[in-house]
Structure 1
Amino acid sequence: MGDVNERTKQFFKELVKILQPPENLDIQEWADLYRILPKEGAAESGKWVTARTPYMIEIFKCMTDIDTESITMMTGAQIGKTELLLNILGRYMHIDPCPILMVQPTVDDARAFSQERVAPMIRDTKVLRKIVINDTVQQKSFYGGYVRFVGSNSPSGLASRPIRITLLDEVDRFPVSSGAEGSPVELAEKRTTTFINKKKIRTSTPTIANKSAIERLMNESTYEEWSLPCPHCGEYTPLEFENLKWENNDPKTAKFMCPACGALSTEAQWKSKKQLNGKWIARFPERIKNRGFHMNSLASPWRTWESIVEEFLKVKDNPQEKKVFWNTVLGKPWVLHLSGAIEYRRLFDRKKSYEHDNLPKDIKIITAGVDVQDDRLEVEVVGWCNKYKSYGLIYKKFFGNPGDEKVWNELDQFLLQKFKMEDGREEVIRTTCIDSGGHHTSAVYKFCMARQWRNVYAIKGVGGEGKKPIIGISHLEKEGSDNVDLLLIGVNSIKDMVCSALKAETDEDNGYCEFPLRLEYGYDITYFKGVTSEVKTVDETIRGDKIIWKVIKGRRNEPFDLRVYALAAVLLIPINLNSGVEESPEQLAICEVPNIEITQNIGG
């Protein structure tokens, strides 16, 4: 009888343990107490220690904060993001069971995550092993809830039962639309609508700037960056790659520069307290409902700064590999400005004083470019020297309807002016290129046909990579009017040349650009914003990636186009300014623009 009583007592003790609510632990406390890292899939197996990755502490706290509804993480590689997600999943399964949805980019990814990451966690974490009552690849059920694993490419998996916790992993690999149902992110997160205590967790390595889903979600959040105090001044600063400095391409010399005091310190000095003194600094702290965290590999305990610099030096000259580095190591969206945006203030600040009646004697040829707008003509006159060094001479606008002759007569008189050099020479505008696109093509043709003897050309830009700067002349046959000679230019090639020139730092560099100090010559700050207004980028089309030039938002690109036209005009003249051979003024005077013909008539 005694044995029966003992067995009964033991039964009720075990029953009480099962029925007793678990401790009210946050995710960090739960993981440090219960989580065991399996040998397969973990960088370091054994007992989980959050202090190893202190940047996770605040993220774990906000996961159970009643004021926070969504958590976004834009991350690099090797920062422990997958283990972070598993800790979140394990804690809710054990402490606060509910319906949970784990979304991976594809159904196969979801199955693999369930089998290779979640199943070993359950197996090796005793408290989870005890509570799972139905364990399949697609779903793991436990007392009070379940976690379902679906792919973002499966509309049926995203749009069925109510869900309290959504875990969306690698959202930048999600399709734009799940079937015909719409955004996978929105489909999944709509399922949390009925829960007051919902949590929406999104993570991803970013991809292309302005197209990245995780970047968009981050921009709607607090946007917090992991920061450490400077070993010298104590000022907190984010671990940005741009502040990582090294000498002579030697990764071993890598040090981080404090942007506040300028001091350089080693990784060991910055991480002397194992980052336990680090903190998250938010750009938008008021957005407490939507927390966002950016983490890069500089904070990783599994990467050294030396190894990061070494990897960068290997890929820096390969755009595709550099993009992967930017995304996976720095956790940043890749900006497809292949040419790089040019700092206009640098050009504005280096203007020099020179006058039209006393121009530098190294100017050999003067050309002009003209752009036609609906209410004006814009023109730039440029002086060219050896190595295609340039002097901006005049940037001017003639306001009026280009359909009327008045504005064209003003331009004509302007193009006839002479410029005096400091050695006494007088130079005229040798060649002019006028854009024939837009709404006033006929007016351009009429003006140019009457002045072709002065080397005034109507031009048409031909896009695409690999085109020669000067393609040739197309003889257009227009019914009811004289034939038109249309100069075709490879606009991408010439834009490359202009951007290279604008980036030149000293007057010893090929293409170095000079600009006049006097504002009446037209070179105000608006001009410099305009001449640097375009960047080379990649456009993704159904036929593949296409390299194009795009205008930076908020700027006008007429000054950039005019510099392109003025350069095309000097390239027409059969003198190689890069040859180093000094032509006499007499030789320069007799150079004429050749009649470059092409056989294909592209007009109509």
Structure 2
Amino acid sequence: MTCLTVDTANPRRLSLEALSEVLNPPPPVDYLDYAENKVSFSERESPFKGNYNRNLFGYFDEILRALSPDDPCRIVTLAKSAQLGGTVLANIFTCGSIEMDPVDFLYVHPTEGNAKRWSKMKLSPMLKNSASLKALFPQSSRDGSDSVLYKERVDGRGAIQISGANSPASLSQVTMKRQVQDDLAKWETNTAGDPEAQADSRSQAHEFAKIFKISTPLVMPGCRITRNFEDGSQELPYVPCPHCGHMQVLRWENMLAHLDEEHPENACFYCEAPDCGAAIEEHHRSELTKHLEWRAQNPKAKRQHRSFWIWSAYSVLQTFERIARAWLKAKGDPASEQTFMNDVVGIAFQTQGEAPPWESLRDRGAVSDYPRGRVPAGALILTIGIDCQDDRVEWQVVGWGRNKNRFVIQYGVFPGHISEDSCQEKLNVLVKQTWPNAYGRKISADRIAIDGNAYTEDVWEWVKKHPASVVMMVRGNNSDSAPMLLPVKKERHKKTGKLLKWSKRFYSFNASVMKMALYRNCRKEDPLAAGYIAFPTGLDDEYYRQVTAERRVSKKNKDGFDVYNWEKDPKQANEALDTMNQAEAAALRFGVRDMPELLWDKYEAERETFPKEAQGDFEDLLSQPAPEPAPETEPETNPEPEKASRSKWRKRTG
């Protein structure tokens, strides 16, 4: 007879071990130690291959301490420049928490698309490359515990929920002790209301929750990360002067005030101490940051909400010279200046939400040195913006120059719908139309952008008859965080599922930032100022009313937060503003923003020299009569269709 032997554990011992595990306090959660011993970078991830180096990122030490459970604050905010290492900081907080002090963790991105990319490109490599994390997340489960947007520890003691702020469903029915709100400035209201309030509520049930809000600022008023920074302790990075020891913040305004534009390689700061004023140069930086101190401007908020701000001047990933050159490249173009202030300086761009008085622009046009329909000297590139309405098509020709300047050339209206042959024929003529410049050359449009948001199929029927290098379809996006110009996501036919052909020639542009830039530049009165906008003689008052028809206003949403949108006077048409933005989108696609000087030289040589048949003595050239303006019978200058068409929308709008 065979006996079956069964080994049983000592139940008393098991119960005591379980009790000991529960009663013993957990080890301290030290994110600094975790970063140094568990975080490493490949060449692909960082220019500094190897383990996390506190000497390079010493300014993050205090932020990591604030994220620790030992610090009583509930919220930690970091407003920063782009590419400063903020994502690394968030990853240390995320993975360190899930390994050292297992909890349910929420990581929220602006959109689900961003969330998936982060999960695949940032989180998954960290889980694979760390031996300890790999043991906790084997990434081979088929029971739903491992997916792109959800990672659960193998022992079930904690999980990472990855969500998009645009998806209210992913922010509901979950309770999270810790969370990261990444790229917070780019979060936009979703169908359920304010996503930041929704995310904050997910940690409401935990008394000792920790919420990390991190982002590069965008636009004020309305920037979420700036608002959070101001609500918190407002801690700034003070460093000592290498000459006198005076503690101060390295500020962009200090560098700008002393910047020699001819020699950006000499960019530096100057000590703010009255009895010093010595230069603080880049070679001093490594020693300065060793003695960096975070000093709170609003210390009473530290117990609940610690907020930090830092910019690229403190980072080994950026040089003072590159900062100066980035400014010189952006100077004069408000859209580029916004990108510089956000990504390099780490502060929100102050918007010009109110349009200048239309009368002031009209008065500028009345004394202009060039007439409507003529291309003035300096306008080397021409683009056209076209806007389609129910009973008319309106268009505007804009010239672009070297110094980020623009010149309004012509504005016109064609009666009829874009689907009508008669309207398309007029547009066909417009594509080939030329405008005389100050040198007697006849210039045609280099790029044309037509609004394809409405009547898309009708617009495409006209667009596809013209070269892709000349005519493009566009639609406006009024989100402050949208790219300036981006191909529209490929669209498919609703019934057949086939890729729509216009997807290759359809672009979305950031209408919100373009309006801010336009209104800021319209206020410039010096024709030599970068970004100056010139208007011709001959435009009627209605044009100026339309181009200044909108303003940026705030409204309270249902959660009580301010939401900023562009609104126009309901009694005032705004096609002049729309076509201006469309013409700028065409200019961006053509490349005027980043065009090298050699290419500007090429266009100037081709377009701003007198034709060969006009060559002669200088006195002869001066005595030649100016070229006649385009004849009144040409379609773009025919006042009758314009007058008739305008009367229709005036009746419709009251």
TM-score by length of 2: 0.51
Is residue 292 of structure 1 aligned with residue 307 of structure 2? yes
Q: From 116, 119, 127, give the equivalent of 1:114.
A: 119
Classify the secondary structure of the residue corresponding to 2:180. Answer: strand
Larger % of strand: which?
A: 1
In structure 2, what is the equivalent of residue 332 of structure 1?
347
**How many Å separate the matches in 2 of 1:308 and 1:127?**
39
Cα distance between partner residues in 1 of 2:522 and 2:271: 36
Q: CA deviation at 1:197?
A: 1.1
What CA RMSD, in Å, does the superposition of the two structures yield over aligned residues? 3.9
Residues 37, 124 of structure 1: 8 Å contact kept: no
Aligned equivalent of 2:253:
242
Q: Which residue, out of 242, 245, 263, partners 2:277?
A: 263
Matching of residue 136 in structure 1 with residue 161 in structure 2 = no
Measure, in 1, the Cα distance between the counterparts of 2:29 and 2:105. Answer: 18
Counterparts of 1:238 and 1:274, CA distance in 2: 11
Corresponding residue for 2:265? Answer: 252
**Structure 1 residue 232: Cα displacement:** 2.1
User: 1: CA distance between counterparts of 2:46 and 2:194?
Assistant: 32
**Percent of aligned positions with the same letter in both sequences?**
23
1:425-574 equivalent positions in 2, closer than 5 A: 462=358, 500=525, 540-541=565-566
Structure 1 position 270, deviation (Å): 3.4
Q: Counterpart of 1:325 in 2: which secondary structure? A: helix
Matches within 5 A, 1:201-212: 201-212=212-223
Deviations 1:303-360 (CA, angstroms, capped at 9, x unpaired): 111111111111112221111000011011001249999xxxxxxxxxxxxxxxxxxx
Retained in 2: the 8 A contact 1:78–1:300? no
Tell which structure's C-alpha radius of gyration is larger.
1
- The CA deviation at 1:212 is 0.6
Look up the SS of the partner of 1:273 in the other structure: helix
Equivalent-residue separation in structure 2 for 1:190 and 1:546 (angstroms): 41
> 1:149 maps to what in 2?
162
Alignment match, 1:46: 50
Distance, in Å, in 2 between the alignment partners of 1:463 and 1:250 is: 41
Q: How far 1:265 moved relative to its partner?
A: 2.1
Of 148-157 and 248-257, deviating more is 248-257
> Aligned equivalents of 1:26 and 1:193: distance in 2?
24
Matches within 5 A, 1:85-104: 85-104=90-109
Map of 1:442 onto structure 2: none
Equivalences for 1:367-382 in 2 at 5 Å? Answer: none
How far residue 36 of structure 1 moved from its aligned partner, in angstroms, is 2.0
Q: CA deviation at 1:128?
A: 1.2
For this pair of structures, how many residues does the alignment match? Answer: 366
Which position in structure 1 is the counterpart of 2:41? 37
CA change 1:276–1:329 in 2 (3 A) is: same
Q: Aligned residue for 2:385? A: none
Is the alpha carbon distance of 1:67 and 1:216 closer, same or farther for their aligned partners in structure 2, counting shifts above 3 Å? same
Verify the 8 A CA contact 1:227 1:237 in the aligned structure 2. Answer: yes
Gaps of 5+ in 1: 1-7, 342-460, 472-492, 505-535, 548-598
Which is richer in helix? 2
- Residues 3-47 of structure 1, C-alpha deviations (whole Å, 9 max, x = no match): xxxxx9xxx9xx99xx89874241111111211224443332321
Provide the secondary structure at the position in 2 that maps to 1:51: coil
Q: Is the 8 A contact 2:271 2:280 kept in 1?
A: no
Which residue is equivalent to 2:231? 220
Question: 2-side partners of 1:537 and 1:305: how far apart?
Answer: 37
- What letter is aligned with 1:41? E
The Cα shift of 1:183 comes to: 0.8
* Secondary structure of 2:76's aligned partner: strand
Give the letter for the 1:227 counterpart. Answer: Y
* CA offsets 1:348-377 (integer angstroms, 9 cap, x no match): xxxxxxxxxxxxxxxxxxxxxxxxxxxxxx
Q: 1:463 and 1:307, CA in 2 relative to 1: closer, same or farther beyond 3 A?
A: same
Query: In 2 relative to 1, CA 240–193 (structure 1 residues): closer, same or farther, beyond 3 Å?
Result: same
Contact 2:112 2:163 in 1 (8 A): yes
How far does residue 498 in structure 1 lie from its aligned partner after superposition? Answer: 9.5
Residue correspondence of structure 1 range 339-350 to structure 2 within 5 A: none
The answer to whether the Cα contact below 8 Å between 1:101 and 1:167 also exists between their aligned partners in 2 is: yes
1:187 to 179, 185, 198: 198
Partner of residue 63, structure 2: 59
Higher deviation after alignment, 190-199 or 21-30: 21-30
* 1:93–1:229 CA distance, 2 compared to 1 (3 A): same
In structure 2, what is the equivalent of residue 438 of structure 1?
Answer: none
Shift, 1:152, TM fit: 0.5
Following superposition, the deviation at residue 66 of structure 1 comes to: 3.6
Q: Distance in 2 between matches of 1:121 and 1:231?
A: 38
**What runs of 5+ residues in structure 2 fail to find an aligned partner?**
1-8, 139-144, 368-517, 530-549, 554-564, 569-573, 579-642
> Which of 174, 191, 200 pairs up with 1:161?
174
Q: Tell me if structure 2 keeps the 8 A contact 1:71–1:201.
A: yes
Give the Cα–Cα distance (whole angstroms) in 1 for the partners of residues 115 and 218 of structure 2. 21
Report the residue type matching 1:312 in the other structure. Answer: W
SS at match of 2:348: coil
Does 2:203 correspond to 1:178? Answer: no
3-state SS, counterpart of residue 84 of structure 1:
helix
Structure 2 residue identity aligned to 1:77: A
Change (3 A) 1:167 1:284: same
Tell me which moved more, 66-75 or 240-249: 240-249
2:320 is the alignment partner of 1:320: no
Inter-partner Cα distance in structure 1 for 2:345 and 2:309: 9
Residue 51 of structure 1: how far off its partner (Å): 2.4
Separation of aligned partners in 2, 1:498 and 1:140:
52
Q: Which amino acid aligns with 1:113?
A: W
2:287 is matched with which residue?
A: 273
> Secondary structure, in 3 states, of the residue corresponding to 2:205?
coil
Structure-2 separation of matches of 1:497 and 1:109: 36
Q: TM-score, normalised by structure 1?
A: 0.55
Code of the aligned partner of 2:128: R
| Contact in 1 for aligned 2:270/2:280 (Cα 8 Å) | no
One-letter amino acid of the counterpart of residue 124, structure 1? N
Q: Secondary structure at the match of 2:339?
A: helix
Question: How far does residue 276 in structure 1 lie from its aligned partner after superposition?
Answer: 1.3
What residue in structure 2 maps to residue 474 of structure 1? none
1:178 deviation in Å? 1.9
Query: What letter corresponds to residue 96 of structure 1 in structure 2?
Result: D
